[in-house]
Amino acid sequence: MWYFTEEQRQLAQVCKDFAQNEIAPKAEHHDTHETFNIEAFKKMGELGLLGITADPEYGGAGLGATEATIVMEEFGKACPGLTLSYLAHSMLCVNNINSNASAEQKAKYLPKLITGEHIGAMAMSEPGYGSDAVGMQCKATKADGHYVVNGNKMWITNAQYADTVYLYTRTGKDKKDLTTFIVDTKDCEGFSVSKEIHKMGMRGSPTGELSFENAKVPETNRVGNEGDSVHHMMKNLEIERLTISGISLGIAQACVDQCIKYATEREQFGKPIGDFQMIQKMIAEMAAETEMMRSFLYDSCKLWDEGKVSNTRAAMVKLQLPKMATKIALDAIQLHGGYGYSREFPVERLMRDAKLNEIGAGTNEVMIMIIAKNLLREAAQR
């Protein structure tokens, strides 16, 4: 973007080089075998990227949504699946702890998460509560110096690898009586990863179901007071929706790049298919849509960093960018013809990966509800 600082441009280049050297060469392998590129993930810690929004006193970079989204875009071009795991670690776990935990909790958990020694996850959704996250039923009951947690969490990114889980639970009867805990998975008796989830796309990102059966969590691991979590949840969802849209932008740009390359190399009727007006129309529209996505997203990130972005704006970004990325990926498959439908070219994988972002961090339908509700309420107050 034209208003990026020199430091932001340098960050983009570092991430681009890392993605080309460490992520892209293994993306197809990890998608095929549903495995996790943990080696590249650990190296992100060496680059200082795993705590990109965390305070420097704990080893973080102390940067904002703009820089986090730059990383998402560059990594998302190479392997959206691994980038989703990066987001779950850096934005859903690390950023939440950095924003909401006590100084003692930050000092205990953030350094190892930021170096990559530990891997983080966030547990919000449940088997019966996805879009209605506030209706969750995983319950934490206070005992003598600890809480006893019972319930399941579903669709948890990094579940099988997580050392630290930022866990949302119910602690009261009111719908908003939600409380958060930091769970040490290796030391938590009664905790288990009960099921691995196999997905259509984002297969390079491990996903599973977490089970808590009379699991004991120390009271000192509670984040804030009982009932504080709804506010924490809604605030972090805004930056999650912006940054996950960075992955969608990366997918769209990767599709455009692949189509330009293919159109110059593939010949039909004795000339490159890029000479045909129909192909030119497809590429031109895909490129224009991608630039529209980029401007809307980074403008919104800049507003977030200035404390000016609204819940409505974040929902608009999350609604439009993933939808456009899926459309662009489908167009890329069409442009590639039979090769696009095969696994010989990456556009097939990119299309499967793109669809997840229309579901995770709030479905398209939920984004529409948020946007319309906010706009109508604002109109009624005028």
Q: What is the pLDDT of residue 175?
A: 86
Q: What is the pLDDT of residue 3?
A: 86
Q: Is 181 helix (H, G, I), strand (E, B) or coil?
A: strand
Q: Is 306 helix (H, G, I), strand (E, B) or coil?
A: coil
Q: What is the pLDDT of residue 299?
A: 97
- Give the residue among 70, 31, 162, 84 at the shortest CA–CA distance from 360: 84
Give dist(CA 357, CA 361) in Å, integer: 7
In the chain, the domains with their CATH numbers are: 6-119 (1.10.540.10), 121-228 (2.40.110.10), 230-381 (1.20.140.10)
Q: Kindly state the helix (H) or strand (E) to which residue 326 belongs, with its residue range.
A: helix 311-336
pTM given for the model: 0.97
Which residue ranges of the chain lie beneath pLDDT 50? none
Q: What is the Cβ-side half-sphere exposure of residue 227, based on CA atoms within 13 angstroms?
A: 6
pLDDT digits (tens, 9 = 90+) for 59-107: 999 999 999 999 999 999 999 999 999 999 999 999 999 999 999 999 9
DSSP letter string, 81-105: HHHHHHHIIIIIIIHHHHHHS-HHH
Q: What is the pLDDT of residue 111?
A: 98
Name residue 209's beta-bridge partners.
Answer: 195
Amino acid at 115: T
DSSP state of 263: H
pLDDT digits (tens, 9 = 90+) for 21-63: 999 999 999 999 999 999 999 999 999 999 999 999 999 999 9
Q: What is the pLDDT of residue 273?
A: 98
Q: What is the Cβ-side half-sphere exposure of residue 288, based on CA atoms within 13 angstroms?
A: 6
**Would you call 240 a catalytic residue per the annotation?**
yes
CA 10 to chain centre: 22
Q: What is the pLDDT of residue 345?
A: 96
Catalytic choice (67, 73, 238, 240)? 240
Residue 80's alpha-carbon distances to 76, 77, 201, 208, in angstroms, are 4, 7, 9, 18
138's tokens: 């995983």
pLDDT digits (tens, 9 = 90+) for 191-217: 999 999 999 999 999 999 999 999 999
Q: What is the pLDDT of residue 300?
A: 97
